[in-house]
Amino acid sequence: MKSLTGARDSLLLTESSMPDIERYLRWIPIFGPPIANLLRGLRIRPVVEQIERELLRRHPPELSVWGEDIDRALFAQSVCELAMLEMGWPNDHFVPADPAAVVFWNHRDNLDFDATIKDLEFNLGVSLGASDLSKWFDSSLGEVVDDLWEKRTLTSD
C-alpha cells in the first residue's frame, strides 16, 4: 500500500504557490472571493485527483495496522471515517503512515478543517488546542491518532 507522503509534498507546493491574482481577488468585495476560490480549485485539482486515485486503489486496511488494542484500532477507524466525511475523500482507506496534512487537507473550502476539529472534539470526547493542531501538520496520521487516543484517555479518567 503506497503512502500519501508524495502527495503531501505536492499539496505543500500547490498551496504555497498561490498566484498573485488569487491573492488580489480575495480582497475585492462580493465577486473576488468566489472567483479566487474557483481559481484555487482549478490549481489544486491535479493534486486532489492524485490523492483520490491512490485512495481508490487501496483496499480497506486491516484493523491490525493500527495496533493490537482493538479499542484503539476502532478509535483510529472513527478518525479516518470523520476525515473522509469532512474532507470529502472517496473512502476512509487511510493508514498510519499517511501524512496528517493530506488526510485533513481542506481541499474543498477553508471550513472543512475547522468542522473536522469540532467533530473530533465532539465525537471522540477530546479537547484540542492550537498547539495540538500545529504539531499535526508535520505528523503522520498514526501520530495524530496516538495523540487523540491519549487525550481521550486523559479526558475520560
What's the rounded Cα separation, in Å, for the pair 136 and 152?
16
- The answer to whether 94 and 103 are in contact (CB under 8 A) is yes
Q: What is the 3-state secondary structure (H, E, C) of 95-116?
A: CCCCEHHHHCCCCCCCCHHHHH
Q: Is the pLDDT of residue 145 over 90?
A: yes
Average pLDDT over residues 36-54: 87
pLDDT digits (tens, 9 = 90+) for 72-98: 999 999 999 989 988 889 999 999 999
List CB contacts of 122: < 8 A, sequence separation 6 or more.
Answer: none
Q: In this predicted structure, what is the pLDDT of residue 19?
A: 81
What's the rounded Cα separation, in Å, for the pair 140 and 142?
5
Reported confidence tier of residue 42, pLDDT bands at 50, 70, 90: confident
Please state whether the predicted TM-score (pTM) of the whole model is above 0.85: no
DSSP state, 28? S
